[in-house]
Each structure stands twice: as structure tokens, then as C-alpha cells.
Chain A
Amino acid sequence: MSTRESLSSLDVRRSTHSPLITLVGSVVLVSLFSVAPWIVPAWFASILMNFFILVIMATMWNLLAGYSGMVSIGQQAFVGLGAYATLFFAIKGMSPLAAIPLAALACGVIALPVTYLLFRLRGGYFSIATWVVADTAMIIIGTVAYLGGGTGHYLPGLSNFDPVSLTHVQYLASWSVALVVVIGTYVLLRSRLGLVLASMRDNEVAARSAGAHVTSARRIVFIVAAAGCGAAGAVLAISQPFVQPGNEFSMSWTAEMLFASMIGGLGTIEGPIIGSVVYFVLFQWLGQYGAWYFIVFGSLAVGIAIWQPRGLWGALRDRFHVELLPVGHWVRERRSAK
């Protein structure tokens, strides 16, 4: 067996098709979204802005639940903390835009000790504990008079923008954070850590005994998701510059991330984005019916969980064998003539 020879020609690719399609598509999309507020009507830019916030959150929730089996129902903790971190830095005199990365960082730092508490619990207990964490965070923030207590506080630092450029700034903040989060998630899932996450999702015991530090991998994901949701909270505060505990720590953020990622398909990068599109399209139809839209979304999510557990994107992918953001490893062995 000529092991050496075949090895020297081992070629590992990360995609079955040419990455050119993905690349060209991405460049076009990124350019379009970057100039959108100057070409689409203001109401549509505002929908896009909220859509990006949901994409950030759903992408993070998918990383938690879809990739690492951590069903958090308390992710609003980090949305709220991110918004309040932004408020804090803005009160201190910093530009809210510059505060976005700091708010994300703060949430990541807060998440670290939280993992030592939460990771003692499994399954449903873990989920309930995340919710307790979120409520605790909301109650504590509500007592801080400096941050407006229970009634809330205006986000300072945006008054030097005229109304039109303010909407542009809000849009661009939301869009650029979404872009960074999606690209970051893609890079993470293509990395060695991504391979570990995929393996532990399939068989945790085997992943451990093959050398994977499963708990550390989970911890990293929890911290990343906290930072991502913190950034979403920062963008949220910038987009609606009145920061209030009941809104920023609302359970409905988690409900939205959950719906969007489940409808689109857990365990793929594309799924939560597709799910967010569906969410916003439906919202335009059903938003006027008040609480009904939650009932419709809930039923849709449950229906998909039962009949199409891989979500819309999973179904599309299985049917058409497309993969926009591939993360796999494909071996091509170039056989030598000998």
C-alpha cells in the first residue's frame, strides 16, 4: 500500500461546489444592504433594521440550542444587559455606537460565571434556570436609579444626528452587527470548535472519549451567544433610544429567536436567517391582530418541530442539495499515476 504517496496528494476541501457562487452572492447582498437606507423607503429600512436585530438573536439562539443542545429560554437576560451596558457607557459620555462592542464584551464577561451556575443543570432544569437568571437580571437592573430604575432612561449621545441621518445610523448599526455576527458564526462553525460542536451533537460520550473538551466547548458557545445577544441589545437600545427593563428584558425576545430559528431550521447557519425572513413577512400580515400573531407563530413553530424538524431550510437543502455557507470537509484523493 503506497500510503505515503496518496497522503502527499490528500486534498481537503470545505465545499462540494465552487465557493465562487457563495462569494459573488455575498458581495452583491452585502453591497445592496449597505446602501439600502438611501434607496428604499424609510418604513422598509426600519423593517430591515428590526429584521437584522432578529437575525442576530436567532443566529445566537441557534448556536446555543441547535448546535450545543442548550435550550435557553432566558436569552433576554443578555439582550437587556447589552442594552443597559450601552446606556451606562452613553451616560458616562461615550458614543452609543462605540459602546456596542463594549456591551457585547460586558455580556460575555458576565456570562462566564453564569455558566458555572447553569452547567450544573441539564435539560429542562437548565432552561428554567436561564429564565431565572433573566428575571434576576431584570429585577437587579430595575433597582438601579442611575440607569432610570423601573421607569427607564433616554439613551443620550444620539442628539447630534439630524432625524434622517439618525435613521441611517440606526440602520447601519443593526446591519453591521448582524453581518459581523453571521460571519463570526460561520467562521466559528468552520473551525475546530465547529467540528467539536457537530460531534457532541451526534454523540457526546464518543466526542469526549475522542478527546473533545465538551464542557469547554459549551462554555465558549454560551459566552459567544451572550455577547451576540448583548450586541443585539445594544443595537436595540440605539434603534429605540428609550431603555426600559420591561422592554429590554422582555421574554418575547427569546420567543422571537426561538420561533425564527425553529421555523428556518436549527443546526444550520442559513436556517435562522430564512426563519427571520418568514417571521417578518408573517408579522406584516398578522401584526395588526395583536396577540394572535404569537399564537400563529407558536403553532407554526410547533408544527414544524413535529413534521419538519430540520425546518424550512433543512427541507430545501435536502431537496435541492444546496449549501450556501458550507462547513463540511470533503476529501479528494488525487491518485498518482504510479
Chain B
Amino acid sequence: MPLLQLEHVSKKFGQVVVADDINFELEEGEAVGIVGPNGAGKTSLFGIISGDVRLYGGQIHFVGQALERMHPSVRCRSGIGRTYQVPRPFENMTVFENTLVGSQQGAVLRGRKSHEAAFSALERTGLSSLANRAAGSLTLMQRKRLELARALATQPRLLLLDEIAGGLTDLEVTELTGIIRSINAEGVTILWIEHVVRALLSTVDRLLCLASGALVADGEPRAVLASEAVRRVYLGDRILNEAMDS
């Protein structure tokens, strides 16, 4: 049984088609990247999977269970963790309390166990020294790490990462990909939207490409990037050319 299965998934915002008959499956333990131009519908797809965005047509199954009518909180508890492209920290709470929401609610842990899970998510993402700081005082980079930490604290089986490497320095990207690879090595399935294709290529073993809500390519990362369909989407795009040069 696949971990996640999308069949004929579609969604419109008014006239804008953000998901156009999308079909794919993820096996447990995979690390899969998603690329696509701005406005392609990548973030919307995460919303559809996590439950923030209501499905318009089609079906989604997670470990064989139909997701369409399931609340976002229930989806999280059943193993889908996500980060937000524009970070959404709980600003008036401390960094530790942010991850504590994940471990108490998402992972349904109590007492000391919940404290340990919340703190180890911070250690993992290099935020433990900021544990008592108000999340509202964090820099953008730290907020992105906190997104990852909070999602990790929910102890997901499937982790949805939405552009967490954008704006990082080379060194930080290397560090981040190291963290994500180690999470994946523990058996957590990764689905990762990223414009920094270099970061993706060092981590994923499969790549999806979305354009105007449609899945235009799905396969081995370098083959996908080299494909005619993706070349057309990214015609002259600097990001892709850089990636292919590297």
C-alpha cells in the first residue's frame, strides 16, 4: 500500500486552476522534490494534502484512509506534518512552547515525554539555545527552522516542506540538507517544494514538476530536469540553468 495516493486531484480558486487532475503516489521512506514556476500550485497542493485547502475533485488516501473529510488536526495526528512557506510561528509563545504544541497535540504525548520530544526537535534544528525566546523575536531564517522543528515535533510519517531553504547561504543549505537526509534516513517520507534545485538534488531521489496546476513530469531528478516538458516550463529560467550547470 502506498503511503500517500492522489487520484484525479483538482482544485480551482475562482477561475485559477491550481490543481488539474493530479495523480501520483508516494511510498513510505521516499524523499521526493517538487519544482515548478511561481503560482504553479505547489503550496496549494500541500494545502490540499494537509487539509488547509478544500478539495474540489478527486481523492487522496493516506495509509489507505480517505482524507477528503478529515480535519487538518486529525490529518496531522495520523502522521502528516507540514511547514509553511511564509512561516507561521506562535509569536507570543516561546520557541519551546511552539514545538510543545506539536508534541502534545500532533504526536499526542503528555508530560515529560512531550517536553523531551519538543526539545529534541529544537536540538535537531539547532534552535535549542533559543528555547525560551519569544518566537515573535526570531529572524526569518530562525522562523523557517522553527517551522521544521514544530512539524518534526508532531512525529510525522510524511513531512511536507515548503521552501525552507530559500534565502539560506551555501553553508546553511548544506547543514539543512544534512538534517533532512537524516530525518529521511529514520524512515520519514519527505515531500519537499524548493526553488533551490541544488538543495533538492542532494537529497531527493525523485522529482515532480508542476506547472499551471498540472503534473508535467515525475521521475528521476536529473532526467526530469532534462525533459522536454520541464524545459518548456522553465524556458530560459536562470534557476534551472544554474542547477544543470552544477
Residues of B within 8 A of A206 (CB): 84, 88-90, 150
Q: Are B104 and A328 within 8 A (Cβ)?
A: no
Q: Is B92 an interface residue (CB 8 A)?
A: yes
Residues of B within 8 A of A215 (CB): 71
Q: Are B106 and A199 within 8 A (Cβ)?
A: no
**Cα distance A206–B93 in the bound complex, in angstroms:** 13
Interface positions of A from 200 to 237, Cβ below 8 Å from B: 201-203, 205-215
Q: Is B94 an interface residue (CB 8 A)?
A: yes
Q: Are A10 and B90 within 8 A (Cβ)?
A: no
Residue of B50, B51, B101, B115 near A212 (CB, 8 A) is B101
Q: Is B38 an interface residue (CB 8 A)?
A: no
**Cα distance A192–B50 in the bound complex, in angstroms:** 23
Residue of A198, A207, A210, A330 near B132 (CB, 8 A) is A330
Closest Cβ–Cβ distance, residue B48 to chain A (whole Å): 13
Closest Cβ–Cβ distance, residue B182 to chain A (whole Å): 11
Q: Are B101 and A333 within 8 A (Cβ)?
A: no
Q: Are B93 and A199 within 8 A (Cβ)?
A: yes
Q: Is B119 an interface residue (CB 8 A)?
A: yes
- Knowing A211-B102, A213-B73, the reply to whether A198 touches B93 (Cβ < 8 A) is yes
Name B106's closest neighbour in chain A (CB-CB). Answer: A211
Q: Are B88 and A331 within 8 A (Cβ)?
A: no
Q: Chain B interface: which size bin?
A: 35 or more
Interface positions of A from 169 to 200, Cβ below 8 Å from B: 192, 195-196, 198-199
Q: Are A211 and B154 within 8 A (Cβ)?
A: yes
Q: Is A28 an interface residue (CB 8 A)?
A: no
Q: Is A121 an interface residue (CB 8 A)?
A: no
Q: Is B140 an interface residue (CB 8 A)?
A: no
Residue tally, chain A, CB below 8 Å to B: 30
Closest Cβ–Cβ distance, residue B85 to chain A (whole Å): 12
Residues of A within 8 A of B153 (CB): 210
Q: Is B120 an interface residue (CB 8 A)?
A: yes
Residues of B within 8 A of A328 (CB): 94, 97
Q: Are A198 and B88 within 8 A (Cβ)?
A: no
Residues of B within 8 A of A7 (CB): 116, 119-120
Name B153's closest neighbour in chain A (CB-CB). Answer: A210
**Cα distance A211–B132 in the bound complex, in angstroms:** 22
A250-269, CB under 8 A of B: which get 1 and which 0?
00000000000000000000
Residues of A within 8 A of B71 (CB): 208, 213, 215
B71-97, CB under 8 A of A: which get 1 and which 0?
111111100001010001111111011
Q: Is A34 an interface residue (CB 8 A)?
A: no
Q: Are A10 and B94 within 8 A (Cβ)?
A: no
**Cα distance A193–B94 in the bound complex, in angstroms:** 16
Q: Are B105 and A196 within 8 A (Cβ)?
A: yes
Residues of B within 8 A of A210 (CB): 76, 101-102, 105-106, 150-151, 153-154
Residue of A192, A205, A209, A214 near B104 (CB, 8 A) is A192
Q: Is A3 an interface residue (CB 8 A)?
A: yes
Residue of A198, A213, A329 near B96 (CB, 8 A) is A329
Interface positions of B from 29 to 56, Cβ below 8 Å from A: 50-52
**Cα distance A331–B209 in the bound complex, in angstroms:** 42
**Cα distance A324–B71 in the bound complex, in angstroms:** 37
Closest Cβ–Cβ distance, residue B161 to chain A (whole Å): 13
Name B154's closest neighbour in chain A (CB-CB). Answer: A211
Closest Cβ–Cβ distance, residue A191 to chain B (whole Å): 10
Closest Cβ–Cβ distance, residue A197 to chain B (whole Å): 11
Name A332's closest neighbour in chain B (CB-CB). Answer: B132
Report, nearest first, the 7 A-B pairs whose CB atoms are least far apart.
A211-B106, A211-B105, A206-B88, A202-B90, A211-B76, A208-B72, A331-B131
By a beta-carbon cutoff of 8 Å, the part of chain B in contact with chain A is: 50-52, 71-77, 82, 84, 88-94, 96-98, 100-102, 104-108, 110, 115-116, 119-120, 123, 128, 131-132, 150-151, 153-154
Could you list 9 A-B pairs, sorted by A, with CB under 8 Å?
A192-B105, A198-B93, A202-B90, A206-B84, A206-B88, A207-B101, A210-B102, A211-B73, A333-B131
